Amino acid sequence: MSIAKLENIHKVYHIGKIDFPALRGISFSVEEGEFLSIAGPSGSGKTTVLNLVGCLDKPSRGNIFLDDKDITALPTSKLADVRRKNIGFVFQTFNLIPVLTAMENVEFPLILEGRHESKERRHLVEEILTEVGLQDFIHRRPNEMSGGQQQRVAVARALVKKPKLILADEPTANLDSVTGEEILQLMLELNQKTSTTFIFSTHDKMVMDFARRIIRLRDGKIESDQKANAQ
Amino acid sequence: MKMLLKLAFRNVFRYRRRTVITFSAISYGLGLMALGICLYNGVNTHAMDSIINNQTAHLKILAPGYFEEKDEVPLEFTIDEPQKIKSLLKENMEIQGIESRILFQASIISGMDELPCLGVAIEPEVDPLVFKIKDSITDGSFLEPSEAGIILGSGLARDLGLQVGDEIVLRMFLSTEDFIWNALDMEITGIAKTENPTVNRMTVFIPLSLAQEALSLDKRITEIAIRIKDKNQLLDVKDSIQRSLAALDTDYEVVSYKEYASDFIELMKMRSRVQVLIPLMMILIASLGIVNTMLMAVLERTREIGMLAAMGMRKMEVMLVFIFEGAIIGLFGSLAACVIGGLGGWYLETKGFRMAFLGKEITDKLLSFLPMEVFYGDLTAGTLLFTLILGTVISILASLYPAYKAVKLDPIQALRHVG
């Protein structure tokens, strides 16, 4: 079953009086459990694709389906609900809440979701933090952790509510290569273990090597879409 | 909700210095406001008490025409049969004390010096039930009904260099227009220092019988002063006395201290209007502080706001975080304001605020229209509660705009923001 489907997506940004086409009619679909990389140089439209799939933005033309439901015309408030329930984000700059501990950061999306009792939430959080190897850091705040540890917390935060889809925008760009590789390895393991679909953008060859499928973009169009051999 | 509160609470302490500055502005501004209200209430009540205790009592029965001319203390508008009225009013259970008095123009002559003053003829045996002159005797003793003594206000005694036991001549004017007067040689039996500087500076007290004889008033008096048991019943008691007087078929008027002190009450009202402006300015400054702090927070946390939106946090929830932050600063600032107002108010209530430090010239000017020398505060729980609620509400209102700015941010732009 396709988790996400993009049909002839166009996205035009209006910068002053100039129209800047970021995407020029791209179509692809993502199946459940995929580990997909959107690759391409700067300005090719990678982040725009992630923003659209992540319901943070709306296309200028075309349709987007999540779980076979057309979300293109949903109002902003409904899109927030879709994000809350179905999508986890991992950002390039980690973007943890600095005043909360690792545990509280990971617990935060569960509280927003409001599905679990406090005890159950704590259990889920401890479980996922153990899974990402941070069982000894649960009471640390972001500024007391390394970049790699922070990104692990971010991965745990994205995963804790068991979303259908995790979107990661250049998740290793702010990490050294060893730590970056560790994070990708972790994401891949979690993908295999939980069948959660991962889509991440990158222009880094090492990151692409981890992907099972690579969609290459250039100038807002799909240049290639190919299965790759995982490491 | 609990999480939003926790987030807000921790964010408040994220930028400590800024929070402390805003917090101080609120606590200082609102604390001063609370003190101002406390002092204003105190002056209001104490000044009124001072007027009641030393000058007007709660009610006065006057002959028709007297009230309009009261500043001249005329002797031609008299109550002819005070005894009749007094025995009638004795049945009124709301009344604590009734006293016949005569106010007259006089002057004190001591050697070569002569100073004008207000003469008050009192019934020494009932005066303490109506006024507090007896309690304010600082030297000597209060008047005895059978004694031909005189009590001087402390200011008057000081100005003339007189003390208890000194001999003076009291010149009593029967008519100032025709300059008809009578003079009595008297020995000072006591010095009264009331809380009311006007009384201290220009009043003498002598026994009623002596004044009636010297002023040729026979049994007549110029006023009956009445103290009632419960000040809140003033209007009811006034009405009932008026009805009693009507039954006697007289046209005497009953005048309350509020009518007597109407000039002072007007002045206080005017002051209260001016006093509202000062706290308003303070509140404005404090709320600008909050707006500024919260706007800075929105700017600095732009990417965080974008991330919260990306995680699916609703606009209202993002707004609430910022509103809670404002409310927390406001609540704690207002609590500190209550402590400042409470401690300051307690000091004002127990020790009072002496005007002497303003210098003699200013003090004398102020004392010419204020009926007290020391200002005591009147601290009420209501004032503190008002301060607390006002500070918190203002802070919440002041955070609305920054909170609105936060939710107007486009998540994508916010996530791209470089802080």
Measured between beta carbons, which residues in chain B are less than 8 angstroms from residue A87? 312
Same-domain pairing of B371 and B406: yes
Contact pairs from chain A to chain B, CB under 8 Å: 60
ipTM of the complex in this document? 0.84
Q: Return the structure tokens found at B342.
A: 């409470």
pLDDT of residue B136: 92
- The stretch A30-47 carries a mean pLDDT of 90
Measure in Å the smallest separation between the Cα of B342 and chain A Cα atoms: 34
pLDDT of residue B29: 86
Same-domain pairing of B269 and B244: no
Contact A97 B304 (CB under 8 A): yes
Same-domain pairing of B186 and B102: yes
From B251, B272, B300, give the residue that closes a domain.
B251
pLDDT of residue B337: 92
Q: Return the structure tokens found at A205.
A: 């060859």
* Residue B120 near residue B152 (C-beta atoms within 8 A): no
Measured between beta carbons, which residues in chain B are less than 8 angstroms from residue A77? 314-315
pLDDT of residue B356: 66
The per-residue b/e assignment along B283-303, b for 16 or more CB within 10 angstroms, e otherwise, is beebbebbbbbbbebbeebbb
Does residue A231 have a pLDDT over 70?
Answer: no
Does residue A174 have a pLDDT over 60?
Answer: yes
pLDDT of residue B416: 76
Measure in Å the smallest separation between the Cα of A229 and chain B Cα atoms: 32
Same-domain pairing of B345 and B389: yes
Q: Return the structure tokens found at B48.
A: 């009124």
Give me the DSSP letters along A8-59. EEEEEEEETTEEEEEEEEEEEEEETT-EEEEE-STTSSHHHHHHHHTTSS--
CB proximity A83 to B under 8 Å? yes
Predicted confidence band at A229 (pLDDT cuts at 50, 70, 90)?
A: low
- Choose among B11, B312, B415: nearest Cβ to A81: B312
Give the chain B residue whose CA is nearest to the CA of A79: B312
Is B340 within the bounds of a domain? Answer: yes
Same-domain pairing of B69 and B23: no
Is B302 within the bounds of a domain? Answer: yes
Same-domain pairing of B41 and B73: no
User: Which ranges of chain B have pLDDT less than 50?
Assistant: none
Is B86 within the bounds of a domain? Answer: yes
Same-domain pairing of B137 and B7: no
B154, B144, B160, B153: which is closest to B210 by C-alpha? B144
Is B58 within the bounds of a domain? Answer: no
Residue B311 belongs to domain spanning:
2-50+264-416
First-to-last CA distance in chain A?
Answer: 25
Q: CA–CA separation, A118 vs B367, rounded Å?
A: 67
Q: Number of structural domains, chain B?
A: 2
pLDDT of residue B140: 93
Same-domain pairing of B222 and B352: no
Contact B312 A100 (CB under 8 A): no
Same-domain pairing of B386 and B297: yes
- Choose among A51, A77, A109: nearest Cβ to B311: A109
Is B174 within the bounds of a domain? Answer: yes
pLDDT in tens, A102-142: 999 999 989 888 888 889 999 999 988 988 888 899 999 99
Same-domain pairing of B98 and B135: yes
Contact A109 B315 (CB under 8 A): no
Q: Return the structure tokens found at A95.
A: 């973007």
Ordered domains of chain A (ranges, CATH): 34-56+81-226 (3.40.50.300)
Is B259 within the bounds of a domain? Answer: no
Contact A95 B317 (CB under 8 A): no
Give the chain B residue whose CA is nearest to the CA of A53: B310
Read off φ and ψ for residue B224, nearest 5 degrees.
-115, 120
Kind and range of the H or E run holding B181:
strand B180-192
Same-domain pairing of B293 and B377: yes
Please report how the helices B302-310 and B262-300 are oriented relative to each other, as an axis angle in degrees rounded to 10: 70
Predicted confidence band at A15 (pLDDT cuts at 50, 70, 90)?
A: confident
Is B116 within the bounds of a domain? Answer: yes
* Residue B202 near residue B155 (C-beta atoms within 8 A): yes
Q: CA–CA separation, B229 vs B59, rounded Å?
A: 12
Same-domain pairing of B347 and B217: no
Measured between beta carbons, which residues in chain B are less than 8 angstroms from residue A111? 3
Is B271 within the bounds of a domain? Answer: yes
pLDDT of residue B179: 77
- Choose among A89, A99, A113: nearest Cβ to B310: A89
pLDDT in tens, A190-201: 888 888 899 999
Contact A99 B7 (CB under 8 A): yes
Beta bridge partners of B353: B375
